[in-house]
Structure 1
Amino acid sequence: MYCMTSCLVISSQYSIPGTEMGRDYLNWSNEKPMLVFHCITFCYGVPPMSTTQMCCHVTTGSANACEKTSFVFLRQELPVRLANIMKEIDFLPDKLLSTPSLQLLQSWYATSLMEVVGFLEKEPDDKNILKKFTETLVSIRNRHNNVVPTMAQGVVEYKDAFGSDPVTNQNVQYFLDRFYMSRISTRMIMNQHSLIFDGSANPAHPKHIGTIDPDCDVTEVVKDAFDSSKMLCEQYYLTSPEIDITQVNAKGPDQPLRIVYVPSHLYHMLFELFKNAMRATVETHEMALHLPPVKVRVSLGSEDLTIKISDRGGGVPLRKIERLFSYMYSTAPSPVDIDNSRNAPLAGFGYGLPISRLYAKYFQGDLQLYSMEGYGTSAVIYLKALSSESVERLPVYNQSAIRHYQTSNEADDWCMPSKDPKKLGKYERRS
């Protein structure tokens, strides 16, 4: 962590005059005393980690030394990542912050921050402390399981009550991309520690280092995600398209396409894209005897691992492409019960594509859509082929971020077509 100073004080009565870097979190339960959290962090940047570093810093040396190293790192790093994003929550519209969902979500983050900070002065050589820390990480992870649907529900509550405007949409989009990316990063580093040091093995994936597969077979993950999507499609539509896979390994022809990656992240992206491709294909060709297949091309080069998924689902107009990645434009009905959201992840909020793009970007990749209206859509996932280049992409709370929230929407400096064509008759040359 590149910091000038980093301080966090938990108090029930003290305040820090003359600073805006604190936020008072009122008690979320009548039975508990009011707590005030003052988080002061002057950071040059949160240090991103590569997949190589995530594997090495928990596997180098003796088991006990590795756990101590991970413990010391996380007890310093997690408060910074949590505090950074908690400060950005302050810049959301007050009416959004006042929704029950946002109040609940802030209480989760405040509680988790307190729990991690409680280990700052603990002795890393104490095995009981290390065990308790791992248990705390698991507890935090479970507490935050429903962060995505809870935040989404808050946005829905806000839109239903107050509507939306371009400036709010822009700021909420900017915030949610950073908020969900922060969540991906905190869960990633917590899972690395808890899965490795909780004392239990993973018989299904014995070679995994936490959530990372150092020899991830990309084609197998593609097939797994397709099979799951196919089963879901057949349950709903009673039919589904087949898959046509082509793979190219520029590094070694006829060799499997393997990279160091997080299979669950890749599966999440692929599952979402296959669901969309299958639905579009079935609905576009509902009267056809045979459905056109979903074509998948996987290519491993010297820098990139690229996956292209192409369907014949009718395509999407160009003007709607960017809306597919917007959190504020979803027209899907909201889930009735957030507590059951894990049964159908993100169902009803239309967050599948924007969250999938964040998973791709997390390790310096990307996810892009290219569509031909009337024909079909191609989705392309770009991943880094080298683990040393698969470095975290993290939001940092600084003056640039603050200015983004404070900047209003300026007038467009390009002329835009009006709905009604301009009558040019009076400008015609007279003969």
Structure 2
Amino acid sequence: MTSPQWLKALPRSFQECARYMTPEQISNFLDDAIRNRIAVRLIAEQHIALSRTVVRDEHDNDHIGIVQLSCSPRDMIRMCASFVGDLCEATLGTSPRIDIDGEVDATFAYVPVHLEYILTEILKNSFRATVEWHQKHHSSASLSPIPPVLITISPPPSPSSPQSPRYLSMRIRDQGGGVTPADMSRIFSYSFTTAGRGAEAFEWDDADLGGGPYAAQHVGGSAAVDGPSSGAEFGSESLFAEMAGRGVQMGMGTIAGLGYGLPMSHLYARYFGGSLDFFSLDGWGSDFIIFL
């Protein structure tokens, strides 16, 4: 089954299984299925990258296969923010700026395409929430600027012992109104979205790839799980090119989706032992805390 077919079949299967399985059972199944798919692709790409290095005798001091030894969160944030900003402006007419502080020159070893996906999905949520909250509370003629999305980078601390885990951490803070306490437990649940539906769980009746703006989340999922890698070794198309390209083909924006972005980002962050946490100040804004 090809990527579009798999992603198209997923919500239909979800709908049918809901009659016989609890939401927790469905969530556990999806976690396992997507995690296994990520693992297979990661192993395959690492094998291909290392094999090409040996065959072509091309050695890159900054890469071991698809792992970048000095991955720059600042550069990745700027790239993702530029892409998400374009989506936000195309969909909502404007976008917030980003402010990056902390240890902006910090680097760490990581798989860039995983970080791309995590940052893209979080920034999509933060940008959309910030713009919609600002538009809701200010008239179109208001001179009040849209508040920026603040991103703080913290490098891994010096370990207290050789066995101590060391994580690079980031905080992404927005002033998008936050999430109500009633919805906090569903933030990382599949199919939950606050995009345009009053924070209701998405109904799968119109979830075909051909209909409705909320089908756009399929684009993010496809690019992350089955799309080309961002590394030069794996083709000229980037993660973002595929996301945007499929969005154009389907005639829809990709700033909001079916509610797959955050749970999949949660899986990516935890894949190498990290974490993704969400904190909300209802009526003001939200914080995402990432440990990688």
> What is the TM-score normalised by the length of structure 1?
0.48
Shift of 1:211: 2.1
User: 2:91, 2:255 within 8 Å by CA — same for their partners in 1?
Assistant: no
* Alpha-carbon distance in structure 1 between the residues aligned to 2:185 and 2:39: 24
Shift of 1:284: 0.7
Q: Using a 3 Å threshold, how does the CA distance of structure 1 residues 331 and 318 change in structure 2: closer, same or farther?
A: same
In the alignment, does 2:84 pair up with 1:194?
A: no
> What is the TM-score normalised by the length of structure 2?
0.70
- 1:180 corresponds to which residue? 34
Identity of aligned residues (%): 32
- 1:417 corresponds to which residue? none
Shift of 1:366: 0.7
Q: Which runs of 4+ in 1 moved over 6 A?
A: none
Q: Secondary structure at the match of 2:117?
A: helix
* Alpha-carbon distance in structure 2 between the residues aligned to 1:245 and 1:213: 21
User: 1:242, 1:293 within 8 Å by CA — same for their partners in 2?
Assistant: yes
Q: Using a 3 Å threshold, how does the CA distance of structure 1 residues 164 and 206 change in structure 2: closer, same or farther?
A: farther
Q: Using a 3 Å threshold, how does the CA distance of structure 1 residues 235 and 346 change in structure 2: closer, same or farther?
A: closer
Give unpaired runs (5+ residues) of structure 1. 1-107, 109-142, 250-255, 384-431
* Alpha-carbon distance in structure 2 between the residues aligned to 1:370 and 1:223: 23
User: 1:284, 1:313 within 8 Å by CA — same for their partners in 2?
Assistant: yes
- 1:334 corresponds to which residue? 207
* Alpha-carbon distance in structure 2 between the residues aligned to 1:372 and 1:261: 31
* Alpha-carbon distance in structure 2 between the residues aligned to 1:209 and 1:145: 30
Q: Secondary structure at the match of 2:103?
A: strand
Q: What is the RMSD computed on CA atoms of the aligned residues?
A: 2.8
Structure number, greater radius of gyration: 1
- 1:78 corresponds to which residue? none
Q: Using a 3 Å threshold, how does the CA distance of structure 1 residues 347 and 370 change in structure 2: closer, same or farther?
A: closer
Q: Using a 3 Å threshold, how does the CA distance of structure 1 residues 208 and 215 change in structure 2: closer, same or farther?
A: same
The aligned amino acid for 2:172 is: I
In the alignment, does 2:149 pair up with 1:294?
A: yes
The aligned amino acid for 1:234 is: E
Work out which of the residue numbers 218, 225, 233 in structure 1 matches 2:88.
233
In the alignment, does 2:179 pair up with 1:306?
A: no
- 1:155 corresponds to which residue? 14
Shift of 1:324: 2.1
* Alpha-carbon distance in structure 2 between the residues aligned to 1:145 and 1:300: 38
* Alpha-carbon distance in structure 2 between the residues aligned to 1:274 and 1:348: 13
- 2:261 corresponds to which residue? 352
Shift of 1:295: 0.5
- 1:104 corresponds to which residue? none
Q: Using a 3 Å threshold, how does the CA distance of structure 1 residues 164 and 178 change in structure 2: closer, same or farther?
A: same
Q: Secondary structure at the match of 2:187?
A: helix
Q: Secondary structure at the match of 2:179?
A: coil
Q: Using a 3 Å threshold, how does the CA distance of structure 1 residues 148 and 300 change in structure 2: closer, same or farther?
A: farther
Shift of 1:304: 1.7
Q: Secondary structure at the match of 2:101?
A: strand
User: 1:313, 1:375 within 8 Å by CA — same for their partners in 2?
Assistant: yes
